[in-house]
Structure 1
Amino acid sequence: MPRVVSLHLPTWPTDRVRRNAAAPPPAEPLVTARREGSRRVLVGVDAAAAALGLRPGLTVAHAQALVPDLHVAEASPEAEGAELTRLAAWCLRYAPVVAADPPDGIWIDVTGAAHLVGGEDALLDDLVDRFGRAGIAARAAIADTPGAAWALARFGRVRRADPWDLPGVLEPLPVAALRLPPDIVDALRRLGIERIGEVLALPGAPLSRRLGLDLCRRLDQALGHVPEPIAPLVPPETIRRRIAFPEPIGAPETLARVTARLCADLCRDLEARELGVRRLDLVFGRVDGGTRAVRVATARPSRDLAHLARLLTDRLEEVDPGFGIEEAVLAATRVEPLPPGQLGVRGIDEADAPLDLGPLVDVLAARLGPARVYRQAPVESDIPERSVTRVAPLAPPTGTGWPGGLGRPVRLIDPPEPVRVTALLPDNPPAAFTWRSLRRKVVCSDGPERVLGEWWRSADEASSFRDYYRVEDERGQRYWIFRDAPSDQGGRWFLHGLFG
């Protein structure tokens, strides 16, 4: 099932002005205007100006009469469109199929790609947050069709439409959410039709005869009855290869052969430019106008034909050919320099060659997801749970290491779990403890090792400390237990780690 994100930039004309020039502070109203005949009319209105009652279509003279300190910038549709296309190209980080939706939107087909950033909700949050930090107001919604996603991003109260509830989500929205021309919207309102649900309740033939075919076409597109293809944006500098087929294809073995051929052609182009690929996008164009895409990434630059072809063919089972595929495009959307390397000579230098874990990491990341493939690296911190972090599997060593002789457990429990401790004296090591409803008798212990809080982080940590004990029960199992304050101050006990 396809999933499409519609990104709406409601104040894009004024946001672009604020980003590209010395602009007034955000609290001061800003508009963009263009000349229409003998008048200058507003085209873009920022949030401050909208709060004062200004809207697109007003004349500049009228707007300045209402808001004397109004800042007016000249509208530039060509520049706005060019920068919108560059923003769409940046969105290729999320999915292979992206397109600008002028004048103030972007399409992103995230079919099969949302899990790479933690799911659909996480993707929408990250998208809107990144644009907001760049000074661009944004709203985003996701649905099965571009039309439904567009409607939710601009008029909806929810931002995600489930596949089984598309009509129910669209019904309460105004008819303008169907991307209709203003004259058709006005005609529907004169008929007393304000909501999409009211349009769905009427027979389509009389509406088409009276208002034209645009209404039914837009409605069918929003509901998924008629395909609405998204023409993928490919930056001109991207290295890519394309194959068009005289007859539609769809057999899995045929798709695999086409993928191998595209990889061979692309690897030759990469070798000629001394580049290695870090991200590959394979996009199939179907006869119904839809697209299906596969994205793979590599841990380090590569142009190994067999390895790249395997990564892609392992994902071909996710591709639904529909009624047939009429073209295939393979694009290296992220590349890095990779100079030619010396070929090994069998029997001479194989033993000295470094072990290349890149192919293994790539296969695991493709099967499990990139977030699940990592290694741990040390961090300079005395707090145990802060002394380790996740890094990329093949990230270079930082030179930081853990101090020796500290006797740290092989497994940390994060967060630490509370335990009930029995001690012979209040501040003595534990004599027994209960963890997960099981009581364990301590036969030997070592400690305490005092770990102080990192005072520069917060005032609460300035006076905090932990007393850690290594204890062993009667079955020979060893544990790492700490108390967070003296017993007379109500110190609590926690289990923080397990030794091997």
Structure 2
Amino acid sequence: MRRAVSLYLPNWPIDRLYRHLDAAAPPPEVPVVLVGRDRGRRMVTACNPSASALGLRPGLAASQAQALVPGLQTHDADPQGDRAALDRLAHWALRHYAPVCAADAPDGLAIEATGAAHLKGGEAGFLSDMEVRLAAAGIRARAVMAPTYGAAHALARFASGVPIVDEGEIGRTIGDLPLAALRLPETLLPALTRLGFETILDLERQPRAPLTLRFGPEIGRRLDQAYGRSFEPIVPVVDQTLPRAERLFAEPIGAAETLARYVAELVVDLCLALEREGRGARRLDLHCQRVDHRLETVRVATARPLRDPRRLTRLVCDRIETITPGFGIERMTLTASIVEPLDWRPSASRLGETEAPDVSGLIDILANRIGRERLYRLTAVESDVPERSVRKTAPMAADTAAAPASSGGWTPDWPRPARLFRPPEPVQTLALLPDNPPTHFTWRGVRRRIRRADGPERIHGEWAHSEAEVWAVRDYFQVEDDAGERFWLFRAGNGEDTRTGPQTWFIHGKFG
């Protein structure tokens, strides 16, 4: 199922102005407008929220706006600069979100998100990540995902509260939107309104032939694109500064073996270009343009900079099965969308030294098959609280100074279970206070008698992390039941003072 995203930037020129002015930008409560020329007249082209609240709007004469709002700040509009910045934003989205992104002037981006949403934790996370990142940069944005770009574009600009549309929901979600949501030429809208058409559904219910005869094919084309009856391609931006290789075919190709052969040729060409620049690829994007103008894409990533043709070819060819060639592919383009410096280095630093095994190839294969976010390793963090003493990191990431150097990571004095429960689960137990281990405990409806125990290991709360932990104490015990299973229990509190905890028991982990 196709997933297209429309990223709408409702006040792109104003947001660009504020970013350009930076510290010199006026406060939000000051009304600000951009002024441009339309056939010799000075007109308002954009307003900030304060100016809009005072009744100003794009299309108003600049002299009239200044008369209505004393003290109005005006700045010259820069439509060419806005378009160039929108192209740069499309390149940013290309690197961070999906291999097919394009500027949708004057106020948005078009993104082909099919097969890319899982990289950000699903469709909701994909949209939220874009909006949050742009908001942190001072740019207001609204993203909508739908099976067609026409539907996503309409909902992003003319609806609220519908960020994700599934297959079969297009008619219900866009039917009540105004005609302007169809991206029709402005010259058509007054004529359609005079005939009584107000919503998209009004046009959808009409016979196609009379509409085409009177208004031309544009209405039918936009309706078909919005409802998914015809395909609307998204032509991606091309970053000419990135290494790339391309093949054009006189006759379309479609067999998997043929695709794999040309992928191998493209990888060799790309690696030669990377070698000339002294760089390695961290991510590859394969674009396959079909004869019906649909674009099939494959994106693979590597754990470290790489320009080994054999390994890169295998990574890309492992994903060929996701390509649907249709009636054939007429163009293939392979781009290294993320590159990093890669210099030659010896296999061992000293003569006779054993080279450490290279597992990056295995990591690349697993990450591109199951998802890079599902592949990680654990590293130590300087914290006594067990759930804070570990964090996820990339498989090939270098260790940081998060854990004490003297300990080499986790302290070996007190073993930790390989599996921690989050959050810790309550258990019913019986123990002599303050320092004796429990004699039994009931967990998940099963009563277990304790044969052996070791402890307590007292862990104090981290007052710098939370004021509630100033007096908090946990007493941990390693226990073994009759079946030989080992568990990690703790009492919230020191067994004497209620300020240190409620004296209730929890299971925090399981050994083995």
Q: Which structure 2 residues correspond to residues 370-389 of structure 1 after superposition, within 5 A?
A: 370-389=372-391
How is 1:79-478 mapped onto 2 (pairs within 5 angstroms)? Answer: 79-92=81-94, 93-157=96-160, 158-342=162-346, 352-398=354-400, 400=403, 401-424=409-432, 428-478=436-486
**Mapped partners of 1:327, 1:425: distance in 2:** 75
Q: Please state if 1:9 is matched with 2:13.
A: no
Query: Would you say the 8 A contact 1:29–1:47 is kept in 2?
Result: yes
Query: What amino acid sits opposite 2:122 in the alignment?
Result: G
**Matched residue of 1:360: which SS?**
helix
> Residue 441 of structure 2 aligns to a residue in which SS?
strand
What is the total number of aligned residue pairs between the two structures? 497
TM-score by length of 2: 0.94
Of 149-158 and 405-414, the range deviating more from structure 2: 405-414
Q: Which moved more, 1:156-165 or 1:357-366?
A: 156-165
The answer to whether 1:491 aligns with 2:503 is yes
What is the CA distance between 1:410 and its match in structure 2? 2.5
Taking the aligned partners of 2:140 and 2:152, their CA distance within structure 1 comes to: 17
> What are structure 2's unaligned runs of at least 5 residues?
404-408
CA deviation map 1:27-50 (0-9, x unaligned): 222211112244211111222222
SS of 2:168's equivalent?
A: helix
The answer (yes or no) to whether the contact 2:35–2:77 under 8 Å persists in 1 is yes
Kept in 1, the 8 Å contact 2:435–2:456? The answer is no
- Measured in 1, the distance between the counterparts of 2:305 and 2:147 equals 34
RMSD over aligned CA atoms reads 1.8
Question: Is the Cα–Cα contact under 8 Å of residues 29 and 71 in structure 1 kept in the other structure?
Answer: yes
Distance between the aligned counterparts of 1:150 and 1:169, measured in 2?
12
Which segment is superposed worse, 281-290 or 226-235? 226-235
2: CA distance, partners of 1:423 / 1:321: 68
Secondary structure of 2:246 counterpart: strand
Q: Per the alignment, do residues 425 and 302 of structure 1 end up closer, same or farther by CA in structure 2, a change over 3 Å counting? A: closer
3-state SS of 2:169 partner: helix
Greater shift in the superposed pair: 273-282 or 65-74: 65-74
TM-score w.r.t. the length of structure 1 is: 0.96
| Residue pair 1:11, 1:47 contacting (<8 A) in 2 also | no
2:406 corresponding residue in structure 1: none
Distance, in Å, in 1 between the alignment partners of 2:327 and 2:227 is: 20
Task: Indicate if the aligned counterparts of 2:433 and 2:495 stay in contact, CA closer than 8 A.
Answer: no
Which string of whole-angstrom CA distances, capped at 9 and with x for unpartnered residues, describes residues 272-321 of structure 1? 11110001000111111111110000000000111101111111111111
Letter aligned with residue 237 of structure 1: T
Q: Pick the aligned partner of 1:53 from 52, 55, 58.
A: 55
- How many angstroms apart in 1 are the aligned matches of 2:351 and 2:374? 34
Contact 2:311 2:361 in 1 (8 A): yes
SS in 2 for 1:163: coil
Determine the structure 1 residue equivalent to 2:44.
Answer: 42
